[in-house]
A and B are shown apart, each in its own frame.
Chain A
Amino acid sequence: MKCFTCGKAELEKKKIEYKQFDVSFGKFDALVCPVCEETAFDGNVSEQIEKKAKELGLWGLAAKTTIGTSGNALDVKIPKSIIEFMKIKKGQVVIIEPIDQKRLQVIVG
């Protein structure tokens, strides 16, 4: 099968390390384009990644949260799954900075 992004080369089967949130999920079979390095996974491999993510407790970290008020300032409630993943505690000092008008970055020291 030709690469669906660049269309210049045939996709090659390779075993690659899948990393997300700086955590290694292990090595999985993937289709890699030698020209543009686009990586894709088969449906069955995707299921294996899904299982591994659930084992590691990284499945579905995205969550909706509402902004509350604390005096004159605003506060953001962080869900438990993210707290456990980032290992943050109450009273811990963090740095917050906007990336753009829609994204806010929290750096845990």
Chain B
Amino acid sequence: MNLLDFIKLISSINIVQRLLISSVESRALPKNCEGGVASVLTKRNSFSSRTREIVDVYAKVKKLPTELAVPQSETLYMALPTERFLYLSSYKYVLVRMIQKEDLIITRHAQEKMVIESISTEQIIEAIQRGSKFNQTDGLLAVYGYYSVAYKIIGSTFVIKTVFLNR
């Protein structure tokens, strides 16, 4: 084994160790967070080929299907600072899976309200991601800007019960 191979081996062990540590740490993070994998990010919401490589390794270590762990597009995953979760970690960022249109299930009542009050699916996603959340009897209420979204989470899907304008 030459020196170059040895350095490669050491670095790969280091990555795997870090990923294993991160998988343990990720238990403390929200469900849709991929803890630690974004530690190499320097800028918020930016992805490099290096990040993609690490995410790929992470998928193999965690035995995840690649489409779940590897970002297909830059908009699929968002990097958030760990401080946001009041979480002390060696990692500066965590990858949070963005909500996609496929993750939404909209009830007929909610769809009718959307058409009447001109609230689009993008606005619903924005409210869920950025709005203030309030616990309700069965689900959550996200208040964002001039409109609110009542929904509940079943597994990885978001069931939109109703939407309405804040008057």
Contact = CB atoms under 8 A, between A and B. Distances in A.
Given A4-B159, A50-B120, A31 B115 contact: no
Task: Determine which residue in B105, B111, B154 has the highest number of CB atoms from chain A within 10 A of its CB, and name it.
Answer: B111
B102 interface: yes
Interface string B101-135: 11111111001101111101100000000000000
B12 interface: no
Top 10 A-B pairs, shortest CB-CB distance: A60-B118, A43-B101, A43-B104, A39-B108, A62-B116, A53-B115, A46-B106, A40-B105, A41-B106, A4-B159
Contact of B159 (A40, A46, A61): A40
Contacts of B114: 46, 50
A49 B101 CA distance: 13
Given A1-B157, A4-B152, A42 B118 contact: no
Name the prevailing secondary structure of the A interface residues.
mixed
A41 B105 contact: yes
Interface of B: 100-108, 111-112, 114-118, 120-121, 152, 154, 157, 159, 165
Contacts of A50: 114-115, 120-121
B103 A43 contact: yes
B111 A49 contact: yes
A11 to B, nearest CB: 9
A53 B117 CA distance: 12
A4 B128 CA distance: 19
B5 to A, nearest CB: 48
Nearest to B154: A4
Contacts of B117: 60, 62
A58 to B, nearest CB: 6
A39 B107 contact: yes
A31 B111 CA distance: 13
A59 B118 contact: yes
A41 B121 CA distance: 11
Contacts of A1: 105, 154, 157
A31 B103 CA distance: 14
Contacts of B154: 1, 4
A42 B111 CA distance: 10
